[in-house]
Amino acid sequence: MAAAAALLLLLALGGAAAQVFPPWNGTFPGFGPGSGGGAGAAAGAGATGVPAMFVFGDSLTDNGNNNDLQSLAKANYPPYGIDFAGGPTGRFSNGFTMVDEIAQLLGLPLLPSHPDASSADAALHGVNFASAAAGILDNTGQNFVGRIPFNQQIKNFEQTLDQLGRKLGGASRLAPTLARSIFYVGMGSNDYLNNYLMPNYNTRNEYNGDQYSTLLVQQYAKQLGTLYNLGARRFVIAGVGSMACIPNMRARSPRNVCSPDVDDLIIPFNNKVKAMVNSLNANRPNAKFIYVDNYAMISEILRNPWSYGFSVIDRGCCGIGRNRGMITCLPFLRPCLNRNTYIFWDAFHPTERVNVLLGRAAFNGGNDVVYPMNIQQLAAWQP
């Protein structure tokens, strides 16, 4: 049925055309053709003073929250995790995700998934609540059956808060720890791929692109407000990356080209998220919200892959069909051998090497990739 969901997406979209990415004047710090793909290679920022990080998101950051669900969106089997020390964990990658790299750069251990953080001791340095197929809207991703929407992820965080409050001696003692913690939120991609663009959803008949992006951002702002009311003060909001050239999109094109009509939907959403970040910063002076421009960074990698040591840009390392993108990586499927040269791991997700690159840029990049400050600066920020 996962394959059927992918095929539904292919049918939902129109003809493909060549993708043209905007100009780029930025740089990725500490990463180039000579840099290895080893996760955590740029770590060493343990003095950031950040006690914990809490992650909310989808398959780009999921580290096993779907493993025990009746779900078609799982990655707890080989060859997922082939380059991860613990093997398959539920990460949709051959190794690290972007937030794994960020955690190490903050001097934190790798975060447990919510089911693995059943005790307060396990949750002391943070928890990852992200769930593959999840979205801002509760009905997003229902083709994959089990998933944990953002609203439920927030409820799961409330459970963790109860545990931590009891451990630390009450909410008043917990509040300063939460205020210094990083809250990473990356939502929205499934609200397009597994909602608006799916032919078995009526969403596209109910909203045009502008109306839908407005609906999403209004709901997103309310959800972030709930996290604020629960004590979050340092927010990292990850924009949706370019999806026009993922292997799944290329696979449906007779000419093996990208599908810019997808990004035509994503770009207005990202612009409204940036405006939301500016508004939240203006209206909540005792909190700080930063925006990670994943769209710009992914676009740059696709435009100049050789500058960053990538040579395979048009297919997944693991998958079935054209571009290894018609059907995503199945159990025990043999992946490519030279994974560090691939941008995409499977039909939808980047390789560890791309994730490490994005994580480092979010951590100490300039305003061209993370705005109005980077994560390292956010960690040191004083309200």
Give the closest residue to 187 by CA, choosing from 149, 233, 136. Answer: 136
Give the closest residue to 132 by CA, choosing from 348, 323, 339, 368. Answer: 348
Rg value, the chain, Cα: 19
Cα–Cα distances in Å, from 322 out to 217, 256, 283, 289? Answer: 35, 9, 48, 40
Q: Is 383 strand, coil or helix?
A: coil
Q: How many other β-carbons are positioned within 10 Å of the β-carbon of residue 36?
A: 11
Cα–Cα distances in Å, from 173 out to 4, 164, 183, 286? Answer: 49, 10, 18, 18
Residue 383 is which amino acid? P
Q: Which helix (H) or strand (E) holds 349?
A: none
CA distance 329 to 306: 25
CA distance 165 to 124: 11
Give the closest residue to 151 by CA, choosing from 207, 201, 224. Answer: 224
Residues marked active site are found at 59, 346, 349
CA distance 379 to 277: 17
Q: Are strands 288-292 and 370-371 parallel, antiparallel or unpaired?
A: antiparallel
Contact present, 351 and 332 (Cβ < 8 Å): no
Question: Tokens for 199?
Answer: 């032919």
**What is the full DSSP assignment across 32-53?**
STT----TTTT---GGG----E
**Rounded to 5°, angle at Cα 325 from 74 and 103:** 50
